[in-house]
Amino acid sequence: MESLLVYPSAKVSISNPSFTSGRTILSGNRHFGPRDLSNSIRMSSGFFPLRCTNSPDNKEISSVAAAIYEYHTDELINAEEVREWESGKSINDIYAKQGITIRRSCRPAPPAGGGMIPRNILEQIIWDKEVEVTQFKQRIPLKEVERMIEDASRTRDFLAALKDSYLRTGLPALIAEVKKASPSRGILRENFDPVEIAHTYEKNGAACLSILTDEKYFQGSFENLDKVRKAGIKCPLLCKEFIIDLWQIYYARAKGADAVLLIAGVLPDIDIKYMLKTCRELGLTALIEVHNERELDRVLKIKGVQLIGINNRNLENFVVDISNTQKLLENRIEVIQGKDITVVGESGLFAPDDVKFVHDSGVKAVLVGESLIKQEDPGLAIRGLFGKDISK
């Protein structure tokens, strides 16, 4: 249920041992892993499974009954990442080849101590997230999450809400962020009531809302997501989380999310592809976030991408440069329009001129948090951001 390369429980089954295209991939008696048993290596979390073999213990296989992955088998089995893994390359070498600098599975298991030191705040967040997700899954197994999804409300169309708002106002649709804190700015709002803030955003023209769920660095929670969904908010909700594991996508769906964030600077292509498939099966929209030209070029080659966010904040050093949006789009806008992809501008947006700048660059939606949440009246701050009332 996790990354196909990083975790040993990232197992999917093949309905027939014959590797013909179009086979349905399900959990069952056969599981997938990119390396033969004779060449399996010891990871921080255990041995990586076989490429295709009988599972010695079906109890080990995470249930994926809620999501049937109808991959063309050749696309999955013959993915470049799998071939490289089988040739003996390490996970982090494979990631680096795609321009991903965030290393994975580097935290030593206690009481060993030592190990590598995070090179930047994003890498620290991801390493901590690996530990956090493991603990979450022990407390709330996937089977329980699947039962929660059965009782969850139907998802709303996140992308359609953005498009409708853009057509109505002629301005980028607003994804307003419910965020208490950030690693770079600390506490953004002392008097923080996520439901009250969500209602204010909706009343003042937000098309969708982004709910921070990371606890350690942003003081968010999945409970905040659940509270906002159950409060009668009509705006579709984005679960703003550092997703590294399919379990998080399922849990986001169970807690009321209509969309999830996938960060290309953290996830390799193979993970983005099967996470997109999972999102479609669960009725979720995937917002794929990029920070540089290489990440955008990678994402544009992936089938089924509908929504791309360009973050003007470098997540490794937190420097913000609004011109990043223009730089990434100036030579790619025709390709993006041809694929009918909606682009979201993220970070560094504080005034009408900022919104106009990214709009002129090709953006049709903006995700804004800090410049709204820090104001005493976030609703009035929306009018200040756009230079007009966008609720009408």
Q: Calculate the CA 283 to chain-centre distance.
A: 15
To the query of whether residue 289 is one of the catalytic residues in this protein, the response is yes
To the query of whether residue 311 is one of the catalytic residues in this protein, the response is yes
To the query of whether residue 346 is one of the catalytic residues in this protein, the response is yes
To the query of whether residue 203 is one of the catalytic residues in this protein, the response is no
Of the candidates 225, 232, 230, 216, the residue with the CA atom closest to the CA atom of residue 249: 225
To the query of whether residue 234 is one of the catalytic residues in this protein, the response is no
Catalytic residue among 2, 123, 130, 289: 289
Catalytic residue among 92, 210, 347, 361: 347
In angstroms, rounded to a whole number, what is the distance separating the alpha carbons of residues 242 and 131?
Answer: 12
DSSP state of 313: B
Spatial contact of 251 and 146, defined as CB atoms under 8 Å apart = no
Catalytic residue among 81, 177, 295, 370: 177
Catalytic residue among 123, 130, 202, 346: 346
- 221 exposed, middle or buried (CB, 10 Å; 0-12, 13-18, 19+)? middle
To the query of whether residue 392 is one of the catalytic residues in this protein, the response is no
Q: Sign of the CA dihedral 282, 277, 345, 340?
A: negative
Catalytic residue among 179, 180, 277, 364: 179
Catalytic residue among 11, 129, 240, 273: 240
Q: Which residues contact 361 (CB under 8 A, 6 or more apart)?
A: 325, 326, 329, 330, 333, 345
Q: Sign of the CA dihedral 54, 57, 58, 64?
A: negative
User: Which residues carry out catalysis?
Assistant: 177, 179, 240, 289, 311, 346-347
